[in-house]
Amino acid sequence: MSVVLACDLGGSSFRAALIDDRGITQAEHAVPGPILSDHLDRSEVRAEAWWAQLGEAAGRLAADAPALFTRIAGIAICGVTRTQIFLGRDGRELRPAMTWKDARAEAIAVRLRERLAGHPEAHRINAFHPLARLAWLAEAEPENARALVCVLEPKDYLNLRLTGRQASDAVSLARLVACAGSIEGAIGLSPNVIPTILEPCDAVAPVQGGLTAPFDRLSGIPVFCGCNDTWAAVVGLGALRPGYAYNISGTTEVLGVLGPEQAEAEGLVTVDWRGLWHLGGPSQNGADTAAWLTGLIGGRDPVGESLERLLAGTRHPQPLIFLPYLQGERVPYWNPSLRGAFIGLGRQHGPTDLAYAVLEGVACLNRLVLERAEGALGTRVDEIRFGGGAAASPVWAQVKADLCGRPIVVGAAKEPGLLGAAIIAWTGLRRFASLTAAQDALVGIARRHEPDPARRPAYNALYALYRQSEAALAPISAALVALARETAHLPGLANAARAP
């Protein structure tokens, strides 16, 4: 029996699995993610840490399933996006990678939009845009900018370490490729920093010889380009088809709709997904928001267990509103200064009320993205395929179904990103004629949650109040973020003021 090595580089963990051509995981191992260096608007990590994660996860698979490890036919890695790794001539990183949360390019993004007014990409440029990140590098660290040879996403960096070839895919690097003709004129850098662009199922190259264990046992095995973690997870949910919607709720929340024609909507990302047009994108909240809450009040049990315990309590009749902007927000606001809030707290509210508010707050944002996407496309989707850590909670799936007014369909794969990476590899190996054929053969459904019509009126009213709360509190969020730079002398901040 042959297997593929499928990997998913997530925001909080790195997962690797040996998956056969029936879509069955034969062995799996997860490694906790590296600790990010976060402070105010900065978020960084050394790319070398991801290479160490890959080595640890693959090494464990080799030790736990040695016979299967020798039968690996191909390798595919998917991973977090909106993260830039800056490489010099020797292929080594010039500085720590700027992660998906880094907002230091916000001011530069404003100037770039003005400078590129009229360019099709101009309205999309924000603090998280790769062109803005490159402009920040050129302005803040000119020596590193002059030494820059290539900019890669995290999964591309791992492919480089395995094969020696710098390459990426047209989906993950869509925003940078769209600016290729403006890089030199706008920020003074060569467009050659963009690597070779391949399709997700294309082979980058074979694993090179001379690598340390366990990669020395994989020499000559083809490494496929892969794609970002969202694209791979959508494949793993069987939703890479026109007219489908998906919701991935992992460390971050991602929701999108796929259609046959290009469309634009305020705050949403439009990307050519290789024959389909994607409309939606990543938010900064999701299962990680639930992890934050359970960490505060849920004890030391795993997040899922803590959340279910909180939800099992008695709920107060007056609901709370929760704005889930604990790390600023990407889709649909692209505003790193947004902050979270509980609204409507009373003396009789307890942990159960907070837990439901968190679930409903994230679902309200899901509904907003869904409505904008459907409005732009002029169509209504029939169901939302749901995956990621939050999909393990039937209560959260039902809340999403009720608030969005759409059936929520949970995929059978516990880790759809891993299955999607495996589908990429098996399709690249020509075990299946196409990605569609591979989805048909390997993707299963675990549960289906239908909207409850009785809850619709209350949720419509709650959603309206949620939108009002967003508009009212956004200016206060911005003022608090500005105030953070002037609070060094407040009680209890002596150590924080000296933190990096």
**Predicted local distance difference test score (pLDDT) of residue 40:** 85
* Three-state SS annotation for 213-268: CCHHHHCCCEEECCCEHHHHHHHHCCCCCCCCEEEEECCCEEEEEEECCCCCCCCC
Do residues 265 and 280 touch, judged by C-beta distance below 8 A? no
| pLDDT value at 411 more than 80 | yes
User: In the CATH scheme, what is the code of domain 3-230?
Assistant: 3.30.420.40
pLDDT tier at 500 (50, 70, 90 boundaries)? very low
pTM of the complete model: 0.89
**Predicted local distance difference test score (pLDDT) of residue 350:** 97
**Predicted local distance difference test score (pLDDT) of residue 52:** 97
Q: Over the stretch 227-283, which tens digit does the pLDDT of each residue have?
A: 999 999 999 999 999 999 999 998 789 999 999 999 999 999 999 998 899 999 999
Mean pLDDT score of the chain: 94
Q: Which CATH number fits domain 238-412+452-500: 3.40.50.2000, 3.30.420.40, 3.40.120.10, 3.30.70.250?
A: 3.30.420.40
- The CA distances from residue 141 to 41, 48, 133, in Å, are 17, 20, 11
Q: Over the stretch 414-458, which tens digit does the pLDDT of each residue have?
A: 999 999 999 999 999 999 999 999 999 999 999 999 999 999 999
Calpha distance 27→14 (Å, rounded): 14
For residue 222, whether the previous peptide bond is cis, meaning omega lies within 30 degrees of 0, is: no
Sign of CA dihedral 35, 41, 46, 50: positive
| pLDDT value at 494 more than 80 | no
Segments making up each domain of the chain, as ranges: 3-230, 238-412+452-500
Calpha distance 351→299 (Å, rounded): 12
**Predicted local distance difference test score (pLDDT) of residue 179:** 93
The reply to whether domains 3-230 and 238-412+452-500 share a CATH topology is yes
DSSP letters along 470-495, please? HHHHHHHHHHHHHHGGG-TTSTT-HH
**Predicted local distance difference test score (pLDDT) of residue 428:** 98
| pLDDT cut 70: percent of the chain above it | 99
